[in-house]
Amino acid sequence: MSYFSHLYCPKCSETYEKNRPVNLCKCGGPLLASYNLKSAGEFKKEDLKGRPENMWRYREMLPVEDPKNIVSLGEGYTPIFSLKRLGEKLGLENLCCKDEGLNPTGSFKARGAAAGISRIRELGIKEIAMPTAGNAGGAWASFGARAGIKAHIAMPADAPEITKTECAVAGASVYLVNGNIADAGKIIGEGAKKYGWFEVSTLKEPYRIEGKKTMGYEILEQMNWDPPDYIFYPTGGGVGIIGIWKAIKEMEELGWIDGKKKPKMVSVQAEGCAPIVRAYERGESFATEWTEPETIAAGIRVPKALGDFLVLEAIRDSGGTAIAVSDGEIKKAMEETARLEGMFICPEGAANVVALEKLVERGWINTQEKVLLLNTGAGIKYSQTLNYDFPLLEKTDRL
């Protein structure tokens, strides 16, 4: 059973009943799911023992009420690997990576799509529409197909090729847009109004974040309820970092962690698109739109996020920080991680590696403490990003 009770607006505190499909609050703010945590006192972490190793093991704290509505492809419970060789190089005693590239559709977007599509099916919605940088589209098209829900997906024409194919092969209508995810979002907004599609853009519906927050539950459970000291997250719309922070607060209320030690949340962006970093450095509560966003890390090319104030809140409340890295550094870090650890991580995940290196150099990281990097997707989805040529790939019949 689920302890989901109602929706609320973190901007103006207005509440909404849970059974009517809704996008944003009247004030324009995003809506979040609230749980009846008094009765959730009966939900103990010991109850998790023996449950299937996927994100639905936390089903009491997820918004789907009838398990029959769950649409799953095995998402979640991804492994946490220690990064011994990379850690040694950086002088860190305890470095690890949660590899979200092992999710169905090759990215952590599967979690948001699983929760979102399941709840949308429960609410009886038949047609959805969204803009995407690529991976979310692939995930929502796939989970949508599995649920029999039609998806309309708009994405930048230069999104990673495989993500376009993923959407098309799963039967979604795909619209390639000359521009970035914000331009794609405008088109989807118009289409949704015109054709009555339900919009599932980042934080324009309350359920995607509920799937993403399971990363927070897993990190704690997999680390035996002893949180890492730092969590690095490549930030676009920011749903992951907001979600993990929400999960940590929920687990504190559930009595699963004492809350004395919380991870410092580190938000990582690209130098060519760093609205959150800029707002953080200026001490602002909201971020202004970034003009002409540009980076090879497609998933974090988000010029303006609806949940910017929640990302900034998570960074500040946790004592974390925000930092930007360059595309050149990202490419080098992809190679370095593959060569030292055998992990072909995505450019967004590699941005974390660069950010960590910089923060170690600055003396911001205590090198004896536990650092967790989230690799949000599989590097193999970005075949164009590291495009090797002669002499590394030499055509030959013999040596």
Ligand X SMILES: Cc1ncc(COP(=O)(O)O)c(C=O)c1O
Q: State the minimum distance, in angstroms, from the CB of residue 179 to ligand X.
A: 16
Q: Choose from ligand X, Zn ion, none: what does 356 bind? Cβ within 5-8 Å by kind.
A: none
Contact 63/178 with Cβ under 8 angstroms?
no
Residue 235, interface with ligand X (CB under 6 A)? Answer: yes
- What residues between 344 and 383 interact with ligand X by CB under 6 A? 346, 348, 376-377
DSSP secondary structure letter of residue 246: H
Residue 239, interface with ligand X (CB under 6 A)? Answer: yes
Please, which residue, 25 or 314, has the CB nearer to Zn ion? 25
For ligand X, the binding residue among 87, 131, 236, 320 (CB under 6 A) is 236
Q: State the minimum distance, in angstroms, from the CB of residue 309 to Zn ion.
A: 12
DSSP secondary structure letter of residue 295: -
- What residues between 29 and 88 interact with Zn ion by CB under 5 A? 29
Residue 9, interface with Zn ion (CB under 5 A)? Answer: yes
Q: Strand, helix or coil at 51?
A: coil
Both structure tokens of 373: 């990097």
Q: What gap in Å lies between CA 314 and CA 296, rounded to an integer?
A: 26
HEC profile of 158-182: CCCHHHHHHHHHCCCEEEEECCCHH
For Zn ion, the binding residue among 1, 15, 21, 27 (CB under 5 A) is 27
Please, which residue, 237 or 303, has the CB nearer to ligand X? 237
Residue 231, interface with ligand X (CB under 6 A)? Answer: no
Distances (CA, A) of 26 to 11, 30, 279: 10, 10, 25
Which region, judged by CB under 6 A, interacts with ligand X, from 86-94, 165-173, 232-240, 365-373?
232-240
Which region, judged by CB under 5 A, interacts with Zn ion, from 26-34, 93-101, 165-173, 195-203?
26-34
What single letter denotes the amino acid at residue 389?
D
Residue carrying the six token digits 């050149």: 328
Residue 238, interface with ligand X (CB under 6 A)? Answer: yes
Q: Spell out a b/e string for 21-45, using b for 16 or more CB atoms within 10 Å of the CB, else e.
A: ebebbeeebbbbbbbebeebeebee
Q: Which residues bind ligand X (CB under 6 A)?
A: 107, 109, 133, 135-136, 202, 234-240, 299-300, 302, 346, 348, 376-377
